[in-house]
């Protein structure tokens, strides 16, 4: 897997059989350019092949739900099964589900929590995620190997598979809070409703918002007053989410669900 400066992903399938046990069920088999054998014909190996054979128990002639990364969704008929790969004849004609109109600005969570948070956000349709520093984020978090391309991309792929989506999100890392807020954030929030989750907010979290949202969520313990002031300078409106204090991994999907439309 490779990542560029804007955190776009390119996937290279693992072949380790042990990866099957640690990954969630695929609701969609994602296809990548390297899978193509001929027009309309693809070959799967590694984790995806193991999942199709061991979990879905598919055989020659069975049809699977398929989607091309950043492209259409459809079905694939298994035409061949060998010890190392399966081949499918595919038809792709459906559009992926619409994106959630929320840009997420998230204080970098604890590394062990980051994977769960990203799976939730991606499966709910977030297409732009900014991981930012905060006073209450330990500097050591930014040195975690989980922020490396091949590790960061794993929860993204799992989130897309879960939600039957194909469109990769953009994930950017901002290890310096002040330069990001002063130099980049004002342009990012243009054309959106900027909201920041804050226990001291006077207003409750809105729902069914008609316009795009830029949602800022702080670390465990929340943003400090200085950081809230800087966000307010960018036009953010603080809100509370009731009397309970939630973990980040709970708060992210709970807040995003407020902006999902039927």
| pTM across the whole model | 0.88
Say if residue 252's pLDDT is above 60.
Answer: yes
Average pLDDT over every residue of 155-166: 96
223/112 same-domain check: yes
| Tally of domains in the chain | 2
Helix (H) or strand (E) holding 86: strand 86-94
Please give the pLDDT value at position 22. Answer: 45
123 and 253 inside one domain? yes
Q: Domain residues for 223?
A: 102-259
Same domain, 250 and 134: yes
State pLDDT tens for residues 215-249: 999 998 899 999 999 999 999 999 988 777 888 99
> Does residue 58 have a pLDDT over 90?
yes
Q: What's 155's domain CATH number?
A: 3.40.1280.10
Q: Which one of 48, 69, 94 terminates a domain?
A: 94
Provide the pLDDT for residue 16.
41
Which residue matches tokens 């296809």? 31
Domain identity same for 152 and 206: yes
Tens digit of each residue's pLDDT (9 = 90 or more) over 125-141: 999 999 999 999 999 99
132: exposed, middle or buried (Cβ count in 10 Å: 0-12, 13-18, 19+)? buried
- The answer to whether the Cα torsion of 183, 188, 191, 195 is positive or negative is negative
120 & 181 share domain? yes
Task: Identify the band that residue 6 occupies on the pLDDT scale cut at 50, 70 and 90.
Answer: very low
Let me know whether 139 and 57 are in one domain.
no
**Same domain, residue pair 153 and 74:** no
For 190, residues 6+ apart whose C-beta sits below 8 A from its C-beta are none
Last residue of a domain, one of 59, 94, 129: 94
* pLDDT (0 to 100) of residue 24: 54
Please determine, for residue 38, whether its predicted confidence score (pLDDT) is greater than 70. Answer: yes
Query: What does pLDDT average to over the chain?
Result: 89
Q: Which of 45, 71, 94 is the last residue of a domain?
A: 94
Is 121 found in the same domain as 87? no
Q: Are residues 18 and 66 in the same domain?
A: yes
How confident is the model at residue 25, as a pLDDT?
65
Domain shared by 113 and 71, yes or no: no
Average pLDDT over residues 168-189: 96
- Closest listed residue to residue 26, CA positions, set 95, 119, 152: 119
Same domain, 29 and 76: yes
Q: Is 142 helix (H, G, I), strand (E, B) or coil?
A: helix
Residues 12, 38, single domain; the answer is yes
| Confidence label for 123 from pLDDT (cuts 50, 70 and 90) | very high
Question: Does position 255 have pLDDT exceeding 70, yes or no?
Answer: yes
């Amino acid at each position: 897997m490779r990542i560029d400066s804007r955190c776009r992903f390119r996937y290279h399938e693992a072949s380790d059989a042990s990866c099957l046990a640690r990954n969630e069920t695929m609701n969609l088999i994602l296809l990548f350019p390297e899978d193509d054998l001929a027009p309309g014909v693809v070959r799967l190996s590694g984790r995806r092949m193991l999942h199709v054979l061991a979990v879905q128990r598919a055989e020659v002639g069975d049809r699977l739900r398929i989607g091309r990364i950043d492209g259409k969704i459809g079905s694939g008929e298994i035409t061949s099964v060998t010890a190392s790969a399966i081949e499918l004849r595919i038809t792709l004609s459906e559009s992926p589900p619409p994106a959630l109109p929320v840009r997420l600005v998230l204080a970098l969570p604890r590394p062990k929590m980051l994977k769960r948070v990203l799976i939730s956000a991606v499966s709910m349709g977030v297409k732009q995620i900014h991981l930012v520093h905060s006073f209450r984020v330990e500097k050591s978090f930014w040195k975690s190997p989980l922020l490396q391309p091949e590790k960061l991309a794993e929860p993204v792929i799992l989130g897309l598979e879960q939600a039957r989506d194909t469109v990769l999100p953009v994930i950017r890392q901002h290890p310096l809070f002040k330069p990001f807020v002063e130099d980049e954030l004002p342009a990012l929030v243009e054309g959106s409703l900027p909201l920041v989750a804050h226990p001291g907010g006077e207003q409750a979290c809105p729902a069914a918002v008609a316009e795009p949202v830029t949602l800022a969520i702080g670390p465990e313990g929340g943003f400090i007053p200085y950081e809230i002031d800087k966000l307010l300078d960018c036009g953010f409106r603080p809100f509370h989410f009731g009397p309970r204090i939630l973990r980040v991994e709970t708060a992210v999907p709970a807040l995003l669900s407020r902006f999902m439309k039927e």
